[in-house]
Chains A and B, each alone.
Chain A
Amino acid sequence: MLLELKDVSKRLGKFHIKNISMDLPDGYILGLIGPNGSGKTSLIHLILGLYKPNSGDILIDGKSYADEEIAIRNMIGTVLLDEMFDDGVSLLSNGIRYGRYYENFSQDTFEAYLERFNLDKKRKYNKLSKGEKLKFQFAFSLSYNPKLLILDEPTGNFDPEFRKEFFQVLKEFIADGTRSVIVSTHLTEDLDKMADYILYIENGSTIFSGDIEKLRDSYRLVTGENYKINLIDKERIIHKEMGNYGTRALVTHRPRYTYDKEVTVAIPTLEEVMYFVTKREKGGRSK
């Protein structure tokens, strides 16, 4: 198991990460989803060992930060929103400056990725756009051949062309089945196609943790006339929305559940699940 979170809790001022557990096997992509302020970045900081949990364990490839920090850091690559590299220094110099701390850093690989991502190695870091800075971090992370890539909201700043490239690189990265990726995002469209596992958090608590198929099987999006929707057991309705031409509701689903013939039942996208669950959290259950 490449990543194990066991009842991880952390207090950060008034905000709490509460008892988060999950496992990510080698060779898979985990989508870390949730609305803004749900605790995704804080959880990533915990996984990166930047925050120490108040309780619970975090194991990377069976190792803990307390015992084998250097080994763990050698196997983690990151793309974070923070601008961490040195301004006024060229991309190549930045890469060499920080790359030398990594056991497996390869300057050739680094330069190859810079070229692949259309980044001029002589350009100064502070002259890059936001998206280019993320591309640079991505290239740097790949250059020391990590086992686990952790990407915090990377795609929002990428142009459509590079988004395709980005997901292609991720596919190549996990292809040998020994490496994994964690992608944190509130833009779930890409994860629908890419992610194998989903950890959905809201207000620091787990809403869902498991493989994406299980998530899809757990919910249904039901559309129909309001009185028909009201016939569904209220406990099953996550949230419903009334429109001019009917009502839409996200409901919990089990294979044995049946639906009225006059309502439309669809498998929700990740975005729809997030939308309705967030609405429920904000407005109370099935208002």
Chain B
Amino acid sequence: MTSQIIRNYFDGFRWSNFKGKVVNAAYMIVYFSCILPVVAGFFEKLEYAIVYFAIAIPVLHIVNSGCVHNMRMPKLMYMVPLSQDMKREYIVKSAVFRIVFCTFVGAVCALPIYLMGLCNILTYILIVYNVLTLALLFCGMNERYGIEDDGKWTEIKSTTVRGVVQGVNVFVTIVSSFLMACMLCQDVNLMTKEVPILFAIPAVLIQLPLTIKYMTYWKVAVDRAMNYETSYDK
């Protein structure tokens, strides 16, 4: 099952899967790859470019992964003989794999910044923490809503709250990530203790509680993903 989960993850990055979601993905790509670097002067020095890509690649990877991977099984898996426990295991393992893999990519991409001495270990941990937060928000419980028995679009009570929690958290995380990159390019010394603390404040005060709140919807999302009706059909 694990090997199938891994294969399905990489199979998901097919162009056909981006159809209909291209506008969102394209906006992020254009913004991060063209506008922001030019405005922030990321390409003026090699070090700046490395810092930029160390932050941008994991973000783009997570956004694109969120576009093509939903919290559900492939259609055929709903028809093969699987017990409820096996279905749950498949869904949870898939979500965990997405989160762990995206975080791993973020950690690897940010490693050169640390190894080149552009930031200290605490800043590196904060960068990885930001990537983990984004991965949780985009790749973990990204589900499609279906219709309930009363014929209305699903509006579970948590939907609005969850959307706000997710939106605010994503905003804070992306802003703090790129602010950090911008500061590095403005030769702000991230080797000092003050700068990591500057980022630790929003991280701890805003991101962490929002992320914890967001993760309380995990069980609901898994339960819904076990049902074909709420995972696929409108």
Q: Which A positions have Cβ atoms within 8 angstroms of B?
A: 11-14, 45, 48, 50-52, 54, 69-71, 73-74, 76, 78, 82, 84-89, 97-98, 101-103
Across the interface, which residues of B come within 8 angstroms of A48, CB to CB?
79
- B160 at the A interface (CB under 8 A): no
For the complex, what is the distance from the CA of A76 to the CA of B234, rounded to whole Å?
A: 25
- B157 at the A interface (CB under 8 A): no
Q: How many A-B residue pairs have CB under 8 A?
A: 64
Find out whether the CB atom of B16 lies under 8 angstroms from the CB atom of A11.
no
Query: Smallest CB-CB separation from A11: which chain B residue?
Result: B151
Known contacts A50-B228, A51-B229, A88-B11; A13 and B79 CB within 8 A of each other: no
For the complex, what is the distance from the CA of A101 to the CA of B73, rounded to whole Å?
A: 14
Size class of the contact patch on chain B = 20 to 34
Find out whether the CB atom of A70 lies under 8 angstroms from the CB atom of B74.
no
Query: Which of B50-58, B80-88, B102-110 touches A?
Result: B80-88
B:74-97 near A, CB below 8 Å: 74-76, 78-84
Selected from B79, B81, B149, the residue in CB contact (under 8 A) with A103 is B81
Selected from A11, A71, A102, the residue in CB contact (under 8 A) with B80 is A102
Q: What is the minimal beta-carbon distance from A54 to any residue of chain B, in angstroms?
A: 6
For the complex, what is the distance from the CA of A50 to the CA of B147, rounded to whole Å?
A: 13
For the complex, what is the distance from the CA of A267 to the CA of B226, rounded to whole Å?
A: 48
Find out whether the CB atom of B74 lies under 8 angstroms from the CB atom of A86.
yes
For the complex, what is the distance from the CA of A84 to the CA of B79, rounded to whole Å?
A: 10
Find out whether the CB atom of A12 lies under 8 angstroms from the CB atom of B151.
yes
Find out whether the CB atom of A86 lies under 8 angstroms from the CB atom of B11.
yes
For the complex, what is the distance from the CA of A52 to the CA of B81, rounded to whole Å?
A: 17
Q: What is the minimal beta-carbon distance from B86 to any residue of chain A, in angstroms?
A: 9
Query: Smallest CB-CB separation from A86: which chain B residue?
Result: B11
Across the interface, which residues of A come within 8 angstroms of B233, CB to CB?
12, 45, 51
Find out whether the CB atom of B14 lies under 8 angstroms from the CB atom of A87.
yes
For the complex, what is the distance from the CA of A86 to the CA of B6, rounded to whole Å?
A: 13
Question: Which 8 residue pairs across A and B have the least CB separation, nearest first?
Answer: A101-B80, A73-B81, A84-B76, A50-B228, A70-B81, A84-B75, A13-B151, A74-B81
Q: What is the minimal beta-carbon distance from A4 to any residue of chain B, in angstroms?
A: 20
Query: Smallest CB-CB separation from A75: which chain B residue?
Result: B81
